[in-house]
Amino acid sequence: GDSVTQMEGPVTLSEEAFLTINCTYTATGYPSLFWYVQYPGEGLQLLLKATKADDKGSNKGFEATYRKETTSFHLEKGSVQVSDSAVYFCALSNAGNMLTFGGGTRLMVKP
């Protein structure tokens, strides 16, 4: 079945550092890919998405590119802020089926 693998956290960075959170997936066909973010004490929020190969999703300074050849959808941000501290979930949806989430990666940004 479909699966999503994320790098284990926590990831600890200083403010203004470059962020990469790795995400790879296993799925048949051409899934849509998503990044969700969960701030402390809140539910998940959709951060960005990409629906086909080579698409780049972007929002709030975050970017991720759908790489079919490497089955990856890594999340990047050029300069993180303390307010970016949260848990980030990579997810896929295949052929209109339910979202399959990765295990989540906790990001901690220190001032």
Partner 1 sequence: DAGVIQSPRHEVTEMGQEVTLRCKPISGHDYLFWYRQTMMRGLELLIYFNNNVPIDDSGMPEDRFSAKMPNASFSTLKIQPSEPRDSAVYFCASSSQGPYEQYFGPGTRLTVT
- Residues of this chain that interact with partner 1 (CB under 8 A) are 32, 34, 41-46, 49, 89, 93, 96-99, 101, 103-104
Judged by beta carbon, residue 34 or residue 84, the one nearer partner 1 is 34
Q: Which CB atom, from 13 or from 99, has the smaller least distance to partner 1? A: 99
Count Cα atoms within 13 angstroms, Cβ side, for 84.
29
* Residue 80 DSSP one-character state: -
Type of residue found at 84: D
Query: Would you say 29 or 41 has its CB closer to partner 1?
Result: 41
Report CA 56 to chain centroid distance, whole Å.
12
The nearest distance, CB 31 to partner 1, in angstroms, is 11
Kindly state the smallest distance separating residue 103's Cβ from partner 1, in Å.
5
- State how far the Cα of 89 lies from the Cα of 105, in Å rounded to an integer: 7
